Structure 1
Amino acid sequence: FFRFVSADPLCGVTKSSSSSTMGELVLNFNDAILYQADIDILRDLTAWLNDACIHFYFTYLQTKVPRTKVLFMDPSVITFLMHQCDDEDLQEFSQSFQVPSKYLIIPINDGHGSSNSWKRPGSGSHWSLLVVGLAATGGTKHDYWYLDSVRGSGNAQAAREVAQRITEVIEGDANSADITIQSVPSTPQQRNGHDCGLHCLAFASVFCTVPESLKEIEDDVSASPDGTTMRKLVLEAVERAIQERDGVEAGE
């Protein structure tokens, strides 16, 4: 469903005196919240994407593929699992977690690693992507693929730790994870210091087609959009969501 607060969100919202620093609420898309500050980030050609932008587009991608096959995970959930989740929380989360049949798509932030003390949501300075290919029914070995638009960024260690934690969730056993992560060699590399989040979204979008092999993943990733194109695609997704929401509200 969609909720909306503003007459014309993408054409600028005047912040009221009672608004927070995030500005006015622009869009609630299936519980992915975007404020005016998030829209400003998307429109700024040199801005890093925050958790809200990543979560919105992951939620948008989720509408294109059944979550029973592919699950796009909220970055705030990863932060919770890595920095706020004790053993009891992990057990409860594992019991309620609905594991998809094919892939888990996980945004990785350098703030997710255990070497980084968690201070606040949205902290960190680089995005990459971890994909878990779930073992077939009755199997025990999962595949782990890592896609990073900056080779040697340091996110690989955070990805390994997240992979360990996610496998504990899947298996329900803190000692069950035997993990080997494979970097995808065809991963395009960014040409500036600010497009990592956009590349993360571009890589994630490949899995809407539910690729059947690593070769197919490599081919699709190598042809994924660049940062400039991806920023336009995300803004277009926001605009479509608003138009659809407006159409629903007009018919009520």
Structure 2
Amino acid sequence: MQKSADEKILSYNDVVLRQSDLGILSGPHFMNDRIIEFYFSYLSSCHSQDILLVPPSIAFWLMNCPDATSLKDFIEPLKLHEKKLVIFPVNDNDDVSVADGGSHWSLLAYDRNANVFVHHDSNHGMNKLRAQQLFRAVVGFMGDSTSVFNAKHLEFSDSPQQTNGYDCGVYVTAIARVLCCWYDSSEHKDKGDMWFSSVKEQITPSAVAEMRKEILQLIKGLIGGK
């Protein structure tokens, strides 16, 4: 019997994937929130607890929360001030009433050692204003190192660019993985380098195409291992 698009196929940590998600990964389609949240959760289980990968729904809420008190209450459990590397997905959805809205993903990352936020956008800075909006929402919660007396700022990286109109979410997952591996390596701690050269070397159109396949096979493997 053929499965319906809405049928649940996998529960992984707090993420529930559906049959339609496999179709998204199988073809040239825009990545949805669930797949990105799943892969971020998977990366979290594989890498240092010093790294926080913020789920898309939470990043979106932080960016659009209209009330400062509610934002503080919501953000404190994330313990942003304790994390060494924080990775946020950025979506251009401007309608908070629409789930899975928007048409472009990018990535905002904070490195505590360098005390800097960096925005990676695979489509010519399309999400620049959204990244700035999220930066302003969270910068005051990152801890003492980001006080007004220190050099907190937001950089816009010269990121690898997508070659089509649908792979932005795959770029986000691929860059997130590079950043996690970069942090867990011993080399950057000795040199004080950031991850820019690693992203430039590893994030290529062919690597991104392979990334889509890898996530699909990861999900199928987890389904088969249930």
| TM-score of the pair, normalised by structure 2 | 0.84
Match of 2:161 in 1: 189
Distance in 1 (alpha carbons) for counterparts of 2:136 and 2:102: 20
Residues 50-109 of structure 1, C-alpha deviation per residue, up to 9 Å, x if partnerless? Answer: 101111111111111123x11111000012222346222222123322234311011011
Match of 2:96 in 1: 118
Which of the residues 80, 98, 102 maps onto 2:84? 102
Distance in 1 (alpha carbons) for counterparts of 2:141 and 2:221: 35
Residues 14-38 of structure 1, C-alpha deviation per residue, up to 9 Å, x if partnerless? Answer: 22xxxxxx51001111111111111
Which of the residues 203, 215, 218 maps onto 1:234? 215
Match of 1:80 in 2: 61
Query: Superposition RMSD on alpha carbons, in Å?
Result: 2.4
Match of 1:24 in 2: 7
Match of 2:174 in 1: 202
- Alignment length, in residue pairs? 213
SS in 2 for 1:199: helix
Match of 2:123 in 1: 150
Determine which structure has the larger helix proportion and give its number.
2
Residues 95-145 of structure 1, C-alpha deviation per residue, up to 9 Å, x if partnerless? Answer: 32223431101101112xxxx34231211110111001125xxxxx82111
* Alignment partner of 1:34 is 2:17: yes
Q: Which runs of 4+ in 1 moved over 4 A?
A: 175-179, 213-216
Amino acid at match of 2:155: Q
Distance in 2 (alpha carbons) for counterparts of 1:165 and 1:34: 29
Structure 1's 106 and 95: CA in aligned 2 closer, same or farther, altered over 3 A? closer
Match of 1:56 in 2: 38
Distance in 2 (alpha carbons) for counterparts of 1:63 and 1:97: 16
CA contact (8 A) 1:130 1:159 kept: yes
Match of 1:128 in 2: 106
Distance in 1 (alpha carbons) for counterparts of 2:13 and 2:178: 21
Distance in 1 (alpha carbons) for counterparts of 2:223 and 2:44: 17
Distance in 2 (alpha carbons) for counterparts of 1:124 and 1:157: 14
Residues 162-210 of structure 1, C-alpha deviation per residue, up to 9 Å, x if partnerless? Answer: 01112233349xx96975221222x211111111111111111012221
Q: Unaligned regions of 5+ residues in structure 1, if any?
A: 1-11, 16-21, 136-140, 247-252
SS in 2 for 1:189: coil
Structure 1's 169 and 151: CA in aligned 2 closer, same or farther, altered over 3 A? same
Distance in 2 (alpha carbons) for counterparts of 1:89 and 1:13: 44
Q: Unaligned regions of 5+ residues in structure 2, if any?
A: none
Distance in 2 (alpha carbons) for counterparts of 1:121 and 1:179: 32
| TM-score of the pair, normalised by structure 1 | 0.76
SS in 2 for 1:34: strand
CA contact (8 A) 1:13 1:24 kept: no
Amino acid at match of 1:52: R
CA contact (8 A) 2:84 2:111 kept: yes
CA contact (8 A) 1:13 1:36 kept: no
